[in-house]
Amino acid sequence: MNSTPHSDVVTDAIRIQAAAQYLPQESDPAVDRYVFAYKITMTNVGSRRARLVARHWIILDSEGRREDVKGPGVVGEYPSLTARDSYSYISYCSLKTEWGTMEGSYTFEREDGSTFEAAIGRFFLVPPPAPVSVAR
């Protein structure tokens, strides 16, 4: 998995970093199936505890088709982040086109019951470029 984040956004002291990688072994371009793994790391850069309660993804393929994915938690968990805590997970996304984008938000809840949306910046789902051969 690529260690350099493809997006890095801080909202209300919650930093969300995302990186994606194409999985050729899981993909089948002959039937328009392109599979990507993505890694999310969330870090509480503030001093107030926050617990993730929900997610909302906006997935766009290269033909402009949009899919909204909403649900509770992430990968069946509801991470609670105290000051300087981090939580990472890996998940997957399948597209019908060779490339696309993901972005969205996580809903977090504070100890006082207030909630806020932490932005997940747009990142690209794209296979690596083919090697270039420069003949002399």
Give one DSSP letter per residue of 37-60, joined into a string. EEEEEEEE-SSS-EEEEEEEEEEE
Residue 21: inside a domain: yes
Residue 27: inside a domain: yes
Q: Where residue 54 sits, what CATH number does that domain have?
A: 2.60.40.1470
Residue 94: inside a domain: yes
Residue 41: inside a domain: yes
Q: How many domains does the chain have?
A: 1
Quick one: pLDDT at residue 42?
A: 98
**What spatial distance separates the first Cα and last Cα of the chain, rounded to whole Å?**
34
Residue 1: inside a domain: no
pTM score above 0.95: no
Contact 51, 85 (CB under 8 A): no
Where in the sequence is the domain holding 85, given as residue range(s)? 7-125
CA atoms of 16 and 44, how far apart (whole Å): 9
Residue 26 has pLDDT above 60, yes or no: yes
Mean pLDDT of 25-50: 97
Write down the number of H helices and E strands in the chain: 0, 9
**pLDDT tens digits, 79-106:** 999 999 999 999 999 999 999 999 999 9
Radius of gyration of the chain, Cα coordinates, nearest whole angstrom: 17
Residue 5 has pLDDT above 70, yes or no: no
Phi-psi bin for 64: left (phi > 0), alpha (psi -120 to 50), beta?
A: left
Backbone angles phi, psi at 98, to 5 degrees: -65, -25
